[in-house]
Amino acid sequence: MQNLFKFMEDGQNASDCRRCVWINGPVIVGAGPSGLATAACLREHGVPFVVLERAKCLASLWQNRTYDRLKLHLPKRFCELPSFPFPEDYPEYPTRRQFINYIESYADYFDIRPNFGQCVESAHYDETSGLWRVRTTAASATTATLSGPDVEYICRWLVVATGENAECVVPEIEGLRDFQGEVLHAADYKSGEKFSEKRVLVVGCGNSGMEVSLDLCNHNAHPSMIIRSSVHVLPREILGKSTFELAVFLVKWLPLWLVDKLLLILAWLVLGNLEKHGIKRPSTGPLELKNTKGKTPVLDIGALRKIRSGSIKVIPAGIKRIVGANQVEFMNGSRLEFDSVVLATGYKSNVPSWLKESEFFNNMGYPKSPFPNGWKGSKGLYAVGFTKRGLSGASSDAIRIAADIGSFWKQETKQQQQKKRVSSSVSYQRRCISQQF
């Protein structure tokens, strides 16, 4: 305890305007589904915690950086957070709004109240005290007046729950600043309504790129989508059954390579030959590619039909540069004019920007140990939501983390109770002796 008090004094002296707060439990960084799932599991183990969130809401990625038409790509039973099923009246693939309502209900049910507007500036482990120091700043001038001065949280356990999609990936494209039309990341795309009759270049052919292109078509825009590398496209359902659910069932009984073969045969029967439309499949199967590279296959919900009809143009080459006000030159030498560009180029982890640690996380901000061993580091450091396995992977991590911290917590609580009983017994014996004399 002397080390702790000295540690807190040193922290206060280093920054007089920063308030030090001791957390009698873990600090969870991030109030998305991963952080909330961990908090709920800790609640069930009776472990106190604090959740820090830089935004002003729960699940800020879903609330602020998703398009209106978004739905869960997998059936709802594979997207449930621990100990809280989706409402029975929700459809098989809940909408964006329904999922946000589910998240808010989840936080209410487990009484999770994050500290909003707290942006983690840095976090590092102090070897002297054996504790984590998590320094935060107010996320904006508005939140500064609400949450008070900057804070330094001191804790024994740190749970990194900022996830794989914390920051947008924006490629460097020569001449992009000179482009006169609108350029936006898919995170800022809401609807294709304002792009009606416009020529839109969609950069990226993952699930976001496909859905943005489809949405643009549905709003009478003219999208062209860049597909410069191979990609697996699977039907979301096969004969009325979820493709994901079918894969999960088959993997229980068959080797992975055989399941991949079966999925590709079924996809060919349902979707046909995609190469003639400019979509080439990787040589590695979809499940093996997901397990080894973390690359998720595209689940088609209607974009392929638009590609076949020519409503969505496929450009099989990357961008070389932007020429002039609205012309794009591609690597194959062709040039086309566009009114807008949507960058469906994905997201990345922001962990390296604030976590001062290199044993557990790599320089890209992901745990070095592959799934299922990437949830626990050393010195009380944990990671949740970095499995590249969506909400089910995050839930699995959360359950493990809470059980691990909970076991330490219960053991220490039991020891403290025993000490209190011993102390109480000694006091009682002393009173009895004093009464006899």
Residue with tokens 């659910």: 245
323-351 average pLDDT score: 94
Amino acid at site 243: T
Q: Give the pLDDT score at 160.
A: 98
Q: Which residues partner with 53 through β-bridges?
A: 116
> What is the β-pairing status of strands 381-383 and 158-160?
parallel
* In contact, 124 and 54? CB cutoff 8 Å: no
Between CA 216 and CA 67 the distance in angstroms is 11
Residues 6 or more apart whose Cβ sits within 8 Å of residue 281: 230, 231, 232, 233, 264, 274, 275
160 closest CA partner among 345, 382, 423 = 382
C-alpha dist (Å) from residue 243 to 101, 103, 263, 288:
26, 25, 8, 15
| Ordered DSSP codes for 192-256 | SGGGTT-EEEEE--SHHHHHHHHHHHHTT-EEEEE--S---EEESEETTEEHHHHHHHHHTTS-H
Encoded tokens for 366: 């992901």
69-73, 268-272, 310-314, 430-434: lowest mean pLDDT where? 430-434
Higher pLDDT, 141 or 62: 62
pLDDT category, 225, cuts 50, 70, 90?
A: very high
| Rg of the Cα atoms in the chain | 26
Exposed e or buried b per residue across 225-234, where buried means at least 16 C-beta atoms within 10 angstroms of its C-beta: bbbbeebbbb
Q: Give the pLDDT score at 148.
A: 53
Q: Give the pLDDT score at 416.
A: 65
Between CA 39 and CA 34 the distance in angstroms is 9
* In contact, 233 and 271? CB cutoff 8 Å: yes
pLDDT category, 420, cuts 50, 70, 90?
A: low
422-432 average pLDDT score: 48
204 closest CA partner among 270, 84, 295 = 295
* In contact, 214 and 233? CB cutoff 8 Å: no
140-145 average pLDDT score: 46
Encoded tokens for 215: 């949405």
Does 374 score more than 80 pLDDT?
yes
Across the beta sheet with 199-203, the strand order is: 182-185, 340-343, 199-203, 222-226, 313-315
Between CA 126 and CA 124 the distance in angstroms is 6
Tell me the longest C-alpha to C-alpha distance in the chain. Answer: 105
HSE (side-chain half, CA atoms, 13 Å) at 169: 12
Between CA 236 and CA 227 the distance in angstroms is 20
Q: Give the pLDDT score at 255.
A: 95
| Ordered DSSP codes for 324-373 | TTTEEEETTS-EEE-SEEEE---EE--GGGTB---SSB-TTSSBSSPTTS
What pLDDT, in 10s, does the model give residues 276-328?
999 999 999 999 998 888 889 999 999 999 999 999 999 999 999 999 889 99
pLDDT category, 388, cuts 50, 70, 90?
A: confident
3-12, 129-138, 161-170, 233-242: lowest mean pLDDT where? 3-12
What pLDDT, in 10s, does the model give residues 51-101?
999 999 999 999 999 999 999 999 999 999 999 999 999 999 999 999 999
* In contact, 71 and 94? CB cutoff 8 Å: yes
HSE (side-chain half, CA atoms, 13 Å) at 229: 7
The percent of residues in the chain predicted with pLDDT above 70, rounded, is 88
